Structure 1
Amino acid sequence: MNYAQIRAFYSVVREGGVGPAAKFLNVSQPTVSQHLRALEETAAVPLFERRGRGLALTPEGARLFAAAEHLMRAVAAVEDSLATPGELERGRLRIVSDSPPVVVQLLKRFRDRHQAVTISTALASKAQIMAEIADGEADFGITVDPTVGVDYTAIPLRSDGLSLCVWRGHPLARKRRVELMDLAPEVLLLREPGSRTRNLLQQAMNQRDVTPREAIEIGSREVLREAVALEIGVTVFTASECPPDPRLAYVPIHEPGLMIVVHEHLVFRKRTLIRPEMAALIEIARDYSAEQAGQRMATASARSG
């Protein structure tokens, strides 16, 4: 019995199979299977039993897993203690997000401290993000108001309001803020179904019984901006999705009695081994969250004053 065998066993249980465990450990499936066979030979008892297409722990396997979990937590604690800021010399992270501005902020801060870590990012819907985390394809997700239950941890990152995007010559461009009723006479350009911004806007409009004159589904943020610039219609973005553009104006949406806000979170599985590079990103995310909270408090104080 050795550490590699125990880690393979632990990963198969946590990841839900030999294939996912091999991906998590960055080794081949035959290597994981070989470790499992060797461990069972040493234990002289079966650790798994077949149930349909999956594997289930035997009573002996369950006891071994409980002991292995204590061991893996101790190993993670040792790795965390050695992974002081600026000393990560290797590692990999995959982050899936529905918010390019937030993932870029975290990526910038992480790269400033840990350039040797390989990072891949991808844009995805909320459902895709949670699926990738559940399958072990991604280490972290960044999404709006995730339903995490007991299996996931969600760190709040920031809250973001909505802004109406119009062309510069539009009458609403001169206003300091707009209400939902201002959208009724407009041609409203929308993201694809499932978009966080579209869902939030439609929920709010339903609550106020507001229907636009016409709605057109466009798709990506870039195409939406071009469509607004060509005066096809108006659209809505979160405040962080409003880069400067001389052709466009962004007007905050303020609806009395409604909180039209998206809350971004960093999400990861509780039941996983936190590698040093993951611990480093979690620390950065918590620092970022604290900064954003401080900025919100300062803004609220300035407004009230």
Structure 2
Amino acid sequence: MQYAQLRAFHAVAEHGGFSKAAQALSLTQPAISDHVRRLEQDFGVKLFERGPRGVEPTELGRRLFSVTRQMLSCERDARQLLDSASGLESGTLSLAADAPDLAVKLIGAFRKQHPGIVVTLSIANAAECMQRVLSSTVDAGITAAPQVHSRLEARVLRRDPLVAMVPATSPIAKKRKLTYAEFVQQPVIFREAQSVTQQLLEIELVRQSLQVEPVLYVDGREALEEAIAQGMGVGVIASAEFNESRRIRMIPLQDCQVEMIESLTRLAERPASNLLNALFATELG
């Protein structure tokens, strides 16, 4: 049994598939498949049920996953302990974020001060980011998910109201402000249910007692922006996330009462780390 085989198994179990595991470990899918196959062959066991809808751990696989979760958590804690005893000239940090813009900005500011640190960034939805932090899969998360777990420690990075995005060719693109009542008169595009932006929008619509039948559901901010740019409808976004475009117009929502709060989050219970402390102290400017 090799350590690489256990890491490959853990990644497949955690991410629910071989291709996603390969992305997470920066390996090829055949390499991941080979590691898992050899692990199964060495012990004469079956760790995953493979079917047309993907892979699911067997009962033995679920039990092994609980062991590898502890193994990787201990590995990360040992690395952080050693990091904390050293300077900041070298080392690694792994981060998960629900959007790249703020995360890349923070990483850029951090690496200007500590250019010897290698940072790995993965992108996932807000709920998955929080799960990766809680399971010690990553060192920290940058997400708009509510920071309500008692095991977490967070630093607020940015607060922004929601704004409307409309096609530049739409008649309402000339307006300087919109109310939610005016907004829902347009064909509305919704994000996926796990999106914090979508959850905030639904809170606002309930507060205003407004009913909406969306014309389209999309997964991800990029898909939302492209659908709006093609004139399919309107949507919302946090103001700081808006990318300048000749095809889309951003319009403030004058009766918006919510904010997108994006935070840097880590486990409060983990050993102190000079690297994480330095990241938490980094100013965005």
Partner of 2:107: 107
Report deviation, 1:19. Answer: 3.5
CA contact (8 A) 2:151 2:267 kept: yes
The answer to whether the 8 A contact 1:76-1:273 is kept is no
Segment of structure 1 superposing worse, 17-26 or 270-279:
17-26
The TM-score with structure 2 as length reference comes to: 0.69
SS of equivalent residue, structure 2 residue 110: helix
1:201 aligns with 2:250: no
Matched, 1:174 2:174: yes
User: CA distance change for structure 1 residues 149 and 233 in 2, over 3 Å: closer, same or farther?
Assistant: closer
Match of 1:50 in 2: none
CA distance in 2, matches of 1:138, 1:77: 15
**Which AA in structure 2 matches 1:194?**
Q
- In structure 2, stretches of 5+ residues that fail to align are 1-65
The answer to whether the 8 Å contact 1:93/1:119 transfers is yes
Give CA deviations for 1:235-277 in whole Å, capped at 9, x if unaligned. Answer: 111112211111111101121xx52211111111111012221
Instruction: Name the SS of the counterpart of 1:187 in structure 2.
Output: coil
Q: Indicate yes or no: 2:279 matched with 1:281.
A: yes
Query: Which TM-score applies when normalising by structure 1?
Result: 0.65
| Match in the other structure for 2:212 | 212
> In structure 1, the residue corresponding to 2:231 is in which secondary structure?
coil
Q: Which has the larger radius of gyration?
A: 1
* Alignment pair present for 1:23 and 2:72: yes
Q: Aligned AA for 1:226?
A: E
**Structure 2: how far apart are the matches of 1:271 and 1:121?**
22
Q: Residues 30-49 of structure 1 correspond to what in structure 2 (within 5 A)?
A: none
Change (3 A) 1:209 1:76: same
The equivalent of 1:139 in structure 2 is 139
* CA displacement 1:5-37 (0-9 Å, x = unmatched): xxxxxxxxxxxx86445424549xxxx9xxxxx
Task: Tell me, in whole angstroms, the C-alpha distance in 1 between the residues paired with 2:110 and 2:271.
Answer: 20
Once the two structures are TM-superposed, the CA of residue 169 in structure 1 deviates from its matched residue by 2.1
What does the per-residue CA deviation read over 1:175-215, in whole Å, with 9 as the maximum and x for residues that have no partner? 11111001222111111111011110011011101123543
1:131 is displaced (CA, Å) by 1.3
User: Which residue is 1:262 aligned to?
Assistant: 260
Alignment length (residue pairs): 220
Offset at residue 120 of structure 1 (A): 0.9
Task: Write the distance in 1 (CA, Å) between the matches of 2:83 and 2:187.
Answer: 56
Q: Any unmatched runs of 5+ in structure 1?
A: 1-16, 33-72, 292-305
- Residues of 2 paired with 1:26 and 1:213: CA distance? 49
